[in-house]
Structure 1
């Protein structure tokens, strides 16, 4: 893992709070999520940054070194963000539109909307595993719009400058190797597969994995996650028969990979759009075009998914 600015903010927040619980609240994270991220930061640096005790945390000698550098770097980065944000806001609207997205079937529709609203704009996009950095980038003027997502009971909280607009909530499905014994089934009961090997994204500020674990644990289910991966690697692990994976209902089937609904629909995922309240998409007409295109993109993804169409036809 390479250190990023957000990792330095985590270290500073922990030091300033003196407690993982208080730092997690300040960072809009859960305490287990923050603890896991801090452990990965420490692993990347090669030694602990804090000592833990019943009364809280305190920096180690290495922690003090990192904090000294971080406290010198972060104000300069914050000033750079403010300057670039001001510069971006003074440019003519639509000259350059920066789009952020998590893994989502909506991104094509959002880019269509951007092209329609600002045909002369230079448009660029980038993928992010977690929605929280995208919301921070929107608030700081580093993005104009983003596709994000969350889960019931684990809804994301946007900064005051950012508007969140829900698009659609859908069930979570499971991706299986095409030769798997459950592939012929119309739905998969997790009781039949929970003891197999699973792949999931690495836990981070995104609470999706935490949500899935909490819901399944409450139902007496525990998935044996032995691989941590995202994107194409997940697909390859499933195709090669090394793992199963939870996935969005619109996850496209491909040679060697089939997608099936989960019996009882225990897990759900919500797609949202987000934009700056004072940005180029703040107007009602722009918001309408964005939402219509995002919804159309989702409907198109549903039409491409035999499993989703079957689920809808079953009236589940």
Structure 2
């Protein structure tokens, strides 16, 4: 039997799971079928790769040698397959541009910019609450560009093959029921809101909740947060007068809600554009950032609470140089 790449994946899966049963499940094989294949692999290589017992499948000394070489080989093979897949896809459909976005006011501007910069292109989109899966998709070639975001001290980590370009850093605003006493003010104080009932997003790889908690910790107090919600559910909870929360400065007020700046601007959020370095938008990076930034500024002007804040703080908006 000639050794194949799939055989290397089999022995690595067994080593990672520590069990033939679990490895078979991850590989979508039957356990007897996997056992038979392992015996053939061991016969081809000339020695036992695993000792099987109550502790599971444990690599032998010979097996450790095989696994070390297999783990060195597989990333290169996977990279080759990914590059070939991207090249084949680009040759077959050079006008397809796949975009991703977190919840941010930049996606429509990114779509329009992509259509203008690559005339005749078919643009598709996919949205996530967290930037992490979008970064994974960009790195794997499943997206061409995306709108991402991060918080101070939690900046996005670079990925091979992905260009990250900040667009703007903006203050985080308070999201209040329209009947809340602070809704009558031009600004809301975080110190006054800290003792309210809060609704917050679920802690995840977005790390927004973690960032908010660090700011609250610096104030010496964590708010009472009985409601974990995102998107429409969070808006409904706040609109019903059950809680307060935080939002992006460009959040559009709707009946039942009030958006107010936080006095002293204690929290910030950064919008980031990302694209594949070898993708169809890579040659238009500077123009892409310029067009999306122009669109963002137009959105600011059309969002009354943010527009008023910008009039009072003309030098506070953090645009890239």
Q: TM-score range by the shorter chain?
A: 0.7 to 0.9
Given that 1:252 and 1:304 are in contact with CA atoms closer than 8 Å, whether structure 2 keeps it comes out as no
Q: Using structure 1 for the length normalisation, give the TM-score.
A: 0.73
The alpha carbon displacement at 1:216 in A equals 1.8
State how far apart, in whole Å, the 1-side matches of 2:298 and 2:271 are.
Answer: 15
* Aligned twin of 1:292: 290
1:181 and 1:161, CA in 2 relative to 1: closer, same or farther beyond 3 A? same
* Aligned twin of 2:86: 85
The alpha carbon displacement at 1:219 in A equals 2.2
1:263 and 1:278, CA in 2 relative to 1: closer, same or farther beyond 3 A? same
Residues 275-302 of structure 1, C-alpha deviations (whole Å, 9 max, x = no match): 011111111xx11221122112211221
Aligned residue for 2:298, secondary structure, equals helix
State how far apart, in whole Å, the 2-side matches of 1:122 and 1:237 are.
Answer: 38
Superposition pairs for residues 96-135 of structure 1, below 5 Å?
Answer: 96-135=96-135
Residues 105-162 of structure 1, C-alpha deviations (whole Å, 9 max, x = no match): 0111101101101221111111101101111101111000000000111101021210
1:70 aligns with 2:26: yes
Superposition pairs for residues 152-231 of structure 1, below 5 Å?
Answer: 152-231=152-231
Aligned residue for 2:184, secondary structure, equals coil
* Aligned twin of 1:305: 303
State how far apart, in whole Å, the 2-side matches of 1:205 and 1:85 are.
Answer: 27
1:159 and 1:184, CA in 2 relative to 1: closer, same or farther beyond 3 A? same
Given that 1:81 and 1:141 are in contact with CA atoms closer than 8 Å, whether structure 2 keeps it comes out as no
Q: Using structure 2 for the length normalisation, give the TM-score.
A: 0.72
1:254 and 1:72, CA in 2 relative to 1: closer, same or farther beyond 3 A? same
Given that 1:85 and 1:140 are in contact with CA atoms closer than 8 Å, whether structure 2 keeps it comes out as no
State how far apart, in whole Å, the 1-side matches of 2:152 and 2:89 are.
Answer: 35
1:314 aligns with 2:312: yes
Given that 2:114 and 2:281 are in contact with CA atoms closer than 8 Å, whether structure 1 keeps it comes out as no
1:66 and 1:251, CA in 2 relative to 1: closer, same or farther beyond 3 A? farther
State how far apart, in whole Å, the 1-side matches of 2:21 and 2:308 are.
Answer: 57
The alpha carbon displacement at 1:86 in A equals 4.1
Aligned residue for 1:182, secondary structure, equals helix
The alpha carbon displacement at 1:68 in A equals 5.3
Gaps of 5+ in 2: 1-11, 30-73, 317-321
State how far apart, in whole Å, the 2-side matches of 1:198 and 1:81 are.
Answer: 47
1:84 and 1:199, CA in 2 relative to 1: closer, same or farther beyond 3 A? farther
- Give the length in aligned residue pairs: 254
Residues 67-99 of structure 1, C-alpha deviations (whole Å, 9 max, x = no match): 6533669x9xx7998364343233353x21110
Aligned residue for 1:183, secondary structure, equals helix
State how far apart, in whole Å, the 1-side matches of 2:311 and 2:208 are.
Answer: 27
State how far apart, in whole Å, the 2-side matches of 1:215 and 1:81 are.
Answer: 44
State how far apart, in whole Å, the 1-side matches of 2:231 and 2:223 are.
Answer: 19
1:212 and 1:90, CA in 2 relative to 1: closer, same or farther beyond 3 A? same
State how far apart, in whole Å, the 1-side matches of 2:162 and 2:154 are.
Answer: 18
* Aligned twin of 1:244: 244
Given that 1:190 and 1:221 are in contact with CA atoms closer than 8 Å, whether structure 2 keeps it comes out as no
What RMSD in Å do the two structures reach over aligned CA positions? 2.7
Gaps of 5+ in 1: 1-11, 17-58
Moved over 6 A (4+): 78-81
